[in-house]
Amino acid sequence: MSVIDYDEFRGLLEAEKARLLHASERYKRDNSGAISDEVDESAGTDNLGDYASATYERELEDGLEEGVLETLRQIDAALQRIEDGTYGVCEICGKPIGVERLRAIPWTTRCIEDQRR
């Protein structure tokens, strides 16, 4: 087991957080209007399909935004664990989480064995 370079992982977490915050802001900016703003009203009464499509896309994007917000919460928790000195320790078994796993998912809270279970 390698020693964890907290600066490396703090950098990975902060970079991912910045990327996700940028994506979240772009989503909010792009979806700030009503769905009716996305549908061509001049098309007449035959725009029910357009409304359905716009609603589906908005709901899909809302789900993605929820995932972004959850990952941001997990990143903040991981940064706090670095500050607390508990980063890289499995929340289930208390054993060290492999460095390779942490590089793949720096906000993870479980070792690969407990995650598989």
3-class DSSP state of 105: coil
- Answer yes or no: is 28 within a domain: yes
- Which pLDDT score is estimated for 5? 93
Distance CA 55, CA 50 (A): 8
Number of domains comprising the chain:
1
Q: Is residue 92 part of a domain?
A: no
Q: Classify residue 109: in a domain, yes or no.
A: no
* Contact criterion met (CB below 8 Å) for 54 and 39: yes
Residue 71 domain boundaries: 6-84
110, part of any domain: no
User: The pTM is what?
Assistant: 0.75
Determine the pLDDT at residue 41: 57
- Spell out the per-residue pLDDT of the chain, length 117, in tens: 467 899 999 999 999 999 999 988 887 777 666 655 556 555 555 576 766 766 677 677 767 788 899 999 999 999 999 999 999 999 999 999 999 999 999 999 999 999 999
